[in-house]
Structure 1
Amino acid sequence: MSIFDTGDTLLHWREDGDPNGAPVVFSNSLGTDLRLWDPVLERLPKDGLRYIRYDTRGHGLSACPDGPYGMGALITDTERLMDYVGAKDAVFIGLSMGGMIAQGLAVKRLDLVRGIVLSNTGAKIGNADMWNGRIDAVNGGGIEAVADVTMDRWFSKAFHATPELQLWRNMLTRQPATGFNGCMAAISGTDMMTSTSDLRLPALGIAGTEDGSTPPDMVRELMGLIPGAGFELIRKAGHLPCVEQPDLYAQHLIRFMDSIGHGTNG
């Protein structure tokens, strides 16, 4: 467990894998923390790749500054962490909010990112009225007030029948409400359609057939902005396919990294 002072906030981060390997950076979704990636990391190569994860500000064990936040601040947090740990020419894997961070980081600092995986995300997600309604609900009743509907959007019907659902509901409700709302405000104010369409780098999109937050068509539209980008649809999975279908998810990541010579085959 490590803490990095960005100058604006404190980020909790950790490193796994080969310390001398090619860097792979993971960015979590709204309402989760770096444990989101545990099921996938168990299935990725142990040699040749250096895995770096962190909790977005306001989430997990990272500090929770007063909100609202801007997407620019979330991107700058990530940029400073990657500079600090020396993660240049990384493959950056971001899910939902993390996918928006990935897009902005690639536009801003192409020296840090040689390939991106944009999972269950979009160039723009929802609209201001939708996000403001959710912020108002959390202000009125805490994250518990939106927990059940969030689980419906996040997970497939089959996953709802498993006891593991409660683990993710607990993770959501134990996030600080200030950080959750702060990041919702950041997503609300973000439209990366124009900037992402200027990207020219290897990219892979991943979607889940039962995703109620960022449906497959949204992810397809996003990947259509980046020439040559790939797209994978994971069936029987919702907004967090790395949780519901970690074997398939890991296979897609491995194939993508192999295709650009990142890691053991580089």
Structure 2
Amino acid sequence: MLDQEGTLADYVNVRDDVQLFCRHAGPRTAARPPVIMLHGNRDNHSHYADLQELLSPDHHTVAVDFRGHGLSSTLDVPLSATLFAADIEQLILHYGWGKVVLAGHSLGSAVAITLAGRRPDLVGGLVLMGSAASFSLPFRRPERPPTKETWAEYVREANTRAVPFFFHDKHPDVARRVSAAWSVIPFEVHQNLVRMRHPDLEETIRGLTVPALVVAGEHDRCTTVGQAEWIQRHHRDARLSVIPETAHFMYMEHPGAVAAEVRAFVRGLA
């Protein structure tokens, strides 16, 4: 179904009777490979709206909700980057694309790396935003585990603690928008997301054959510029772009700069 001129909302069936929500934008007949946009933990496809709009004149983009997120199926099951990567593999095969560009942010970048390592035949390029080879949460969540009754209070406190690590103080609108999305995730799904562990991707990154653009926020305290530099150094074909005056959500805080980097990267792919 069309949600506005030039965009298409679609669902794709994958394993476990799960439906993945996809928001398409831009010309489907574009000569360049489609760009599949993969969001972070507790985020959703709508966070890519500005980036999709900027790329849509000459790129076909698809912003996907992982299972358990946004408008995709919500199941009370263990979640992992490997499971998400398998879902995206099925999505690519469903549409019958040749090679795609995977543009992943945070958890989405871990999924992109996992899939590129497993199926390089499906991936023509990687855009890794807010990415790290290994990751641990840089702040402490509230000490007392939440219950359904205390859920809203717990989320408010956790979001307050997260803000300084994820967002630049020059972009409070982005912090409000993302925090609001974090606040509406169902209790059971959130519990599974909290239990999920970031995979150790060092060996996978060293073995990647897929070209990569690594994008970092200059003031990101969650996945730092240093962590992005590690990926750039240990990947055989990667370049690094640091976006000034942004933090972890650089693609929302300065979408124009990120769109320019993505456009140049995709244009340079063979």
Tell me, yes or no, whether TM beats 0.5.
Answer: yes
Partner of 2:6: none
- Residue 60 (1) aligns with residue 70 (2): yes
- How far residue 105 of structure 1 moved from its aligned partner, in angstroms, is 0.5
CA separation of 1:19/1:237 partners in 2, compared to 1, >3 Å: closer, same or farther? same
In the alignment, which of 166, 171, 174 is matched to residue 159 of structure 1? 171
In the alignment, which of 90, 94, 105 is matched to residue 84 of structure 1? 94
* SS of residue in 1 equivalent to 2:11: strand
Bigger Cα displacement from structure 2, 217-226 vs 249-258:
217-226
In the alignment, which of 158, 162, 166 is matched to residue 150 of structure 1? 162
Matched residue count: 254
Q: Name the CA distance, whole Å, in 2 between partners of 1:225 and 1:164.
A: 31
Q: Name the CA distance, whole Å, in 2 between partners of 1:206 and 1:76.
A: 24
- Residue 44 (1) aligns with residue 44 (2): no
Percentage identity across paired residues of the two chains: 22
- Residue 242 (1) aligns with residue 254 (2): no
Partner of 2:5: none
* SS of residue in 2 equivalent to 1:81: helix
Contact 1:90 1:113 in 2 (8 A): yes
Q: Name the CA distance, whole Å, in 2 between partners of 1:233 and 1:174.
A: 31
* Paired letter, 1:39: D
- Residue 4 (1) aligns with residue 15 (2): no
- Residue 217 (1) aligns with residue 226 (2): yes
CA separation of 1:165/1:126 partners in 2, compared to 1, >3 Å: closer, same or farther? closer
TM-score, length-normalised on structure 1?
A: 0.88
Contact 1:57 1:179 in 2 (8 A): no
**1:29-65 deviations in whole A, cap 9, x for unaligned?**
1121011111112211423x22111111111111121
Q: Name the CA distance, whole Å, in 2 between partners of 1:165 and 1:189.
A: 23
Q: Name the CA distance, whole Å, in 2 between partners of 1:178 and 1:220.
A: 36
CA separation of 1:138/1:207 partners in 2, compared to 1, >3 Å: closer, same or farther? farther
Q: Can you give the 5+ residue segments of structure 2 that lack an aligned partner in the other structure?
A: 1-8
In the alignment, which of 183, 197, 208 is matched to residue 217 of structure 2? 208
* Paired letter, 1:109: R
- How far residue 138 of structure 1 moved from its aligned partner, in angstroms, is 6.2
- How far residue 158 of structure 1 moved from its aligned partner, in angstroms, is 1.4
* Paired letter, 2:257: L
Contact 1:138 1:146 in 2 (8 A): no
CA separation of 1:136/1:181 partners in 2, compared to 1, >3 Å: closer, same or farther? farther
Contact 1:204 1:229 in 2 (8 A): yes
Partner of 1:25: 36
- Residue 35 (1) aligns with residue 46 (2): yes
Q: Name the CA distance, whole Å, in 1 between partners of 2:192 and 2:133.
A: 19
Contact 1:70 1:185 in 2 (8 A): no
Partner of 2:146: 139
* SS of residue in 2 equivalent to 1:197: helix
CA separation of 1:164/1:26 partners in 2, compared to 1, >3 Å: closer, same or farther? closer
- How far residue 184 of structure 1 moved from its aligned partner, in angstroms, is 3.7
CA separation of 1:24/1:235 partners in 2, compared to 1, >3 Å: closer, same or farther? same
Q: Can you give the 5+ residue segments of structure 1 that lack an aligned partner in the other structure?
A: 262-266
- How far residue 189 of structure 1 moved from its aligned partner, in angstroms, is 4.7
* Paired letter, 2:246: A
Partner of 1:105: 115
- How far residue 245 of structure 1 moved from its aligned partner, in angstroms, is 0.6
**Aligned-pair RMSD on alpha carbons?**
2.1
Contact 1:206 1:233 in 2 (8 A): yes
- Residue 180 (1) aligns with residue 190 (2): yes
* SS of residue in 1 equivalent to 2:15: coil
CA separation of 1:248/1:64 partners in 2, compared to 1, >3 Å: closer, same or farther? same
